[in-house]
Structure 1
Amino acid sequence: MKILISNDDGFRAEGIVALYEALKSIADVEVVAPEHNNSAKSNALTLHTPLYVNRADNGFRYVNGTPADCVHIALTGLLGYRPDLVISGINNGANMGDDTLYSGTVGAAMEGYLFGIPALAVSQMDKGWAHLDAAAVKVKELVQQMQAGDLMDTKPWLLNMNIPNLPLEEIKAAKLCRLGRRHAAEPVITQVDPRGQTMYWIGNAGPAMDDSEGTDFHAAGLGHVVVTPLKVDLTDHAHLDHWTHAFSRLAAQGRA
């Protein structure tokens, strides 16, 4: 099995090192990750600035771009082969609910999925890397289970995995969940720079709004590994008929 690993915390982040160490015994693993932290870059690609690939002293390759850049470059020429799986992480902090729209961790995994490769985004629920080795073991176990279940050779899938920062023996079984929702983000933080200009810092994410049973927030609060299948299609299928009728009325009014 060949696995491509990336992340959004940067190639020297503790999470990506732990993930590589856990997986190298069961697969041929390549790391292509951002040079610097690229949190909240989502699916962004760099189109107007040249990108460079360098190799670090630990053998990892790093790119002066976004998480999606790293996976895109790896899959379109850098590797020279097609991996069986793309894994992004382990991220320093949760990616649940609305976070998935902004997450560079999810964006890197989604880039693999867009190229038709099974992909997994992995995060720890709390920042600080506590019990990181346990999280890496849980990823390794899931990969082995999916390989044994012949889920690597099916049509491509995209999974979002969040792991509690707990000792291995205290982490509860994986639970398949839907995404919850957050309240709106907190207000921007304003400061004045030395030249007297106002600076703006994006506020913290809002608290959970929908953390009912069945959501990732609910299962995470109970100590489970949380897994959510994701998709790229943003079409509001449930309301297509509504909008079809609405636009028909608008068209009829325009001809009157």
Structure 2
Amino acid sequence: MARVLVGVKRVIDYAVKIRVKPDKTGVVTEGIKHSMNPFDEIAVEEAVRLKEKKIANEIIAVSCGPAQAQDVLRTALAMGADKAIHVEVSGQDYETLQPIHVSKILAKIAQNEKADLIIVGKQAIDDDCNQTAQMTAGFLDWPQATFASKIDKEENHIVVKREVDGGLETIKCKLPAVISADLRLNEPRYATLPNIMKAKKKPLTKLTPKDLGVDTSPRIQILKVEDPPVRQAGTIVPDVDTLIVKLKEQGHI
């Protein structure tokens, strides 16, 4: 039986159109709908399924962020997590919080909680870094299985089918290990009203990076955030010869 740590991040909802601030220092977040990162929802769902299969016996959800991050932790608890840990990082510290900081925090909590398995989404839809799982495994010196599309357990090993450019790769890892969830791993469940009510009574612990001995000093400086260039309208050409001429004119050939 394993104790599973699941990382969840509060991000701008995937259905919201992103707007860049007029001063180009970041994106507009005030008054914008936020929700759990979709890949992290998949990670929580997989942890709950492992518990339903009696492979896991406890699920601990962890989130780093401002006070509002407790919303996604309550969602994780309503989906089936047993307890939550909120590592509060706010203001400018949160603006420059990077995967290296989050990885150190997750690694420290995993050691403190004696976790056997860490599951996170393969990437967050706001920064698309895809680094947290890999660096967490590095800090802990644990095996890792990224981009998981199927997870099974054999004795004290986990067998992970992972998506690679050439197709599917199957690997076997000893526990403890770190897994990152891909899109096709599962379909996350909706939290039911009774479970949402129960989630309010489940334990939620508040910590700070300092409590864990993690330095979150910025490693980066955000110089400018810009909208992507607007795609130019296409043109219809009468034949292949005209297409070749136009491609040459635009320097594509």
By relative contact order (CA 8 Å, sep 6+), the higher-ranking structure is: 2
Does TM, normalized by the shorter one, top 0.5?
no
TM-score normalised to structure 2 length: 0.37
TM-score normalised to structure 1 length: 0.37
